[in-house]
Amino acid sequence: QVQLVESGGGLVQPGGSLRLSCAASRSIFSFYTMGWYRQAPGKQRELVAVFTSGSGTNYADPVKGRFTISRDNAKNTVYLQMSSLKPEDTAVYYCHAVTGTIVHWGQGTQVTVSS
């Protein structure tokens, strides 16, 4: 059973920054893909940023140039550095990983961007 534990969410003013962390219960090398999704109230869950199967990265257009995904293999942790945050970035952010045909989700962490 894979466990993904997110942390780092909170309340931030527009233009501010936050860094989210996702700690995995096993080596992140075992994941086919790993990254972040988000879900705003009344909206569908959407991709934010992921490491792809070829170790590349994929970002959603609304976050390109503002968010950066990174990882620490020794700590089995993936990060999402979020800068220049906007109110429309407000959502629950979920860590996501795929092993074989199984999709794993974390419990989510709330990010609220408001003045």
pLDDT digits (tens, 9 = 90+) for 76-111: 999 999 999 999 999 999 999 999 889 999 999 999
Phi-psi region of 101 (alpha: psi -120 to 50; beta: other; left: phi over 0): alpha
Share of the chain above pLDDT 90, in %: 89
* pLDDT on residue 101: 87
* pLDDT on residue 76: 96
* pLDDT on residue 15: 98
DSSP string over 66-90: TEEEEEEGGGTEEEEEE-S--GGG-
* pLDDT on residue 56: 92
Cα distance between the two ends of the chain: 40
Q: What is the pLDDT of residues 30-68, one digit of tens each?
A: 899 999 999 999 999 999 999 988 779 999 999 999 999
- Cβ-based neighbours of 73, under 8 Å, separated by 6 or more: 27, 28, 29
